[in-house]
Structure 1
Amino acid sequence: MLELERSIVSVVARRFRSRAVLELENIALRHQLCVLRRQQPGRLRLFTHDRLLWVLLYRLWPRCLELMVLVKPTTVIHWHRQGFRLFWRWRSRSGRPSIDREIRDLIRQMSSANPLWGAPRIHGELLKLGIEVSQATVAKYMVRRRGTPSQNWRTFLRNHVEGIAAIDMFVVASASFRLLYVMVILAHGRRKIMRTAVTEHPSAAWLSRQVTEAFPWDTAPRYLLRDRDTSYGSEFRSRVDAMNIAEVITAPRSPWQNAYVERVIGSIRRECLDHIVIFNGRHLRRVLSSYVDYYQSSRTHLSLGKDCPDSRPIQRRSVGRIVAIPKLGGLHHRYERLAA
């Protein structure tokens, strides 16, 4: 009796299974006919619902691939795997909250500004700022680079600016129409004028002595930038070489290659000498000394973040009233707060 019941159940199950298989076959064939009816000449157009239907059929009945004529079986399998990946990607996104846009922008900013930093270094900086994110999140939002990270030219020059100085000369006409030569040595680090000197007859010996006095002992820069003036003779080159300074000579008629000292010379002319009549060398030295003092400790520079070569402290508004201190005989002024 038990065996009879089992046989009856198996027969009914085969009938229902065969009925379902027949329905699935009809759906697969009818759908392919619909696709063939709507296709354009020479091109097969498949929509998203077509792919979803065939993926569902493959999910329910893998043998439907034997009936597929319009596409290859591997294509249907590829669609199924792609849908699987999209489904679990959606499930993963819904499980972990996204970080703020401000933090993402900060990670990208740190990565761009510090090309030598990796995810652990940036993650450590974020922790010091009180931002709690995982290191994997930092690696996800970092800027992707191709090849070995490299610093730009601005960073390279900024790293070497402390070891570069420049020398140049310009001419000033006195009240008696005599020509006076002014030598300027500028340190690139803080745009500081290291020395100015005046002479009527510039020579290699005189220039070499000025370099020695501008950089005593072990304060000499690594590089000295100059033009091709014939006054820099063999004696000057020997003195510079003895001080372990490498000369960098600009191209002929290229003052833009020594731009910093040329800009300082232009400032001396525009802000001082163009407004004063020079009587003789002694007068010129005194005027230049006053201007250098104003330039070093009072005049703000755009390249130094509106600071002076000799850094000038910021005074609090509560200190007192503002007074004007004349410089260069009142041609310029420095403003200070004095306590009441």
Structure 2
Amino acid sequence: GSSRSHSKIINRESQLGRATRQSRIGASRLRCRRINGRQIHDPSPQTAVSILANVSNHANQIVACDFFTVPTVTFRQMYIFILLHHNSRKLLHANITTNPTSAWTAQHIRQAFPYGTVPRFLLRDNDSIYGTVFQRTVESMGIKEVRTAYRSPWQNAYVERVIGSIRRECLNHLIVLNEKGLQKVLDEYVQYYNRTRPHLSLNLNSPIPRNVEPPDNGKVVATPILGGLHHRYSRVA
């Protein structure tokens, strides 16, 4: 969407009776950035459009993965490995370990993609966890690895956003006792995320779409999720 500066310019121009296109404003801001020297590597509008179109065309074939850590009440580190489908935003896999290795990660890649469901691309960072065993496994499955640049988590933005959502909407509200308890909570959140949680990028639907329930189906009933931290609303006759 438009930034705050875009909105201010459009508002000002409209008050003055002038029609202003967002594309014109965007081009002006691009030129200003180059003149000021703050960003000299911005792509041309034509290049930017072609890159976005290319990513959009392959979105259904891209899966992103990443690890993040969660401390327990005894300050023991738990490592959570997640896989996210780019196009549907569906969380395909979420599992926990206290000792992440290349072999462990490779095994969970196999579990996440049984025969016939293998994606074309796997987007990941350059963490040493993705070692030789992992790379050979992914290659044998016919998946092409796409690595982000070093220290550039924004290049894997979708999965980084999901990690933030898991923290804000779930883990930040809980005290983790052990691995078993964390896995149970994580499994319940994944079900909520995939089947209930609205997503702006999906027109407020969920990764596994829900049918619209008309008012004559009955009254609205709230089903608690994660002990009432979230709810699923449905109509019951």
Q: TM-score range by the shorter chain?
A: 0.7 to 0.9
The counterpart of 1:158, out of the listed 27, 44, 56, is 56
Q: Match of 2:235, as an amino acid?
A: R
| Other-structure match for 1:267 | 165
Q: Which secondary structure does the structure 2 equivalent of 1:329 belong to?
A: coil
The counterpart of 2:215, out of the listed 309, 312, 317, is 317
| Other-structure match for 1:123 | none
Which 10-residue stretch deviates more, 197-206 or 315-324?
315-324
Q: Match of 1:219, as an amino acid?
A: T
Alignment of 1:45-124 (within 5 A): none
| Other-structure match for 1:326 | 224
Alignment of 1:1-340 (within 5 A): 152-339=50-237
Q: Which secondary structure does the structure 1 equivalent of 2:65 belong to?
A: strand
Q: Match of 2:227, as an amino acid?
A: G
Question: With structure 2 as the length reference, what TM-score do the two structures score?
Answer: 0.78
Larger radius of gyration: 1
RMSD across aligned C-alpha pairs, in angstroms?
A: 1.0
Q: Match of 2:173, as an amino acid?
A: H
Q: Which secondary structure does the structure 1 equivalent of 2:95 belong to?
A: strand
Query: 5+ unaligned residues in a row in structure 2: which ranges?
Result: 1-48
Q: Distance in 2 between matches of 1:254 and 1:313?
A: 38
1:159 deviation in Å?
1.6
* Structure with more strand by fraction: 2
1:154 deviation in Å?
3.3
Deviations 1:298-317 (A, max 9, x none): 00100111110111110111
Q: Match of 1:302, as an amino acid?
A: L
Q: Distance in 1 between matches of 2:58 and 2:222?
A: 37
| Other-structure match for 2:23 | none
Q: Which secondary structure does the structure 1 equivalent of 2:215 belong to?
A: coil
Q: Which secondary structure does the structure 2 equivalent of 1:172 belong to?
A: strand
Measured at CA, do residues 325 and 238 of structure 1 come closer, stay the same or move farther in structure 2, by a change above 3 Å?
same
Q: Distance in 2 between matches of 1:152 and 1:302?
A: 24
1:277 deviation in Å?
0.3
Q: Match of 1:337, as an amino acid?
A: R
Q: Which secondary structure does the structure 2 equivalent of 1:306 belong to?
A: coil
Consecutive aligned runs of 4 or more in structure 1 exceeding 6 Å deviation:
none
Q: Distance in 2 between matches of 1:186 and 1:192?
A: 6
Q: Match of 2:96, as an amino acid?
A: V
1:152 deviation in Å?
4.1
* Structure with more helix by fraction: 1
Give the aligned length.
Answer: 189
Q: Distance in 1 between matches of 2:57 and 2:223?
A: 36
| Other-structure match for 1:54 | none
Deviations 1:227-274 (A, max 9, x none): 011011100000000001010111111000000000000000000000
Q: Match of 1:200, as an amino acid?
A: T
Q: Which secondary structure does the structure 2 equivalent of 1:224 belong to?
A: strand
**Larger RCO, structures 1/2 (Cα 8 Å, 6+ apart):** 2
| Other-structure match for 1:31 | none
Q: Distance in 2 between matches of 1:203 and 1:306?
A: 37
1:155 deviation in Å?
3.2
Measured at CA, do residues 317 and 153 of structure 1 come closer, stay the same or move farther in structure 2, by a change above 3 Å?
farther
Identity %: 48
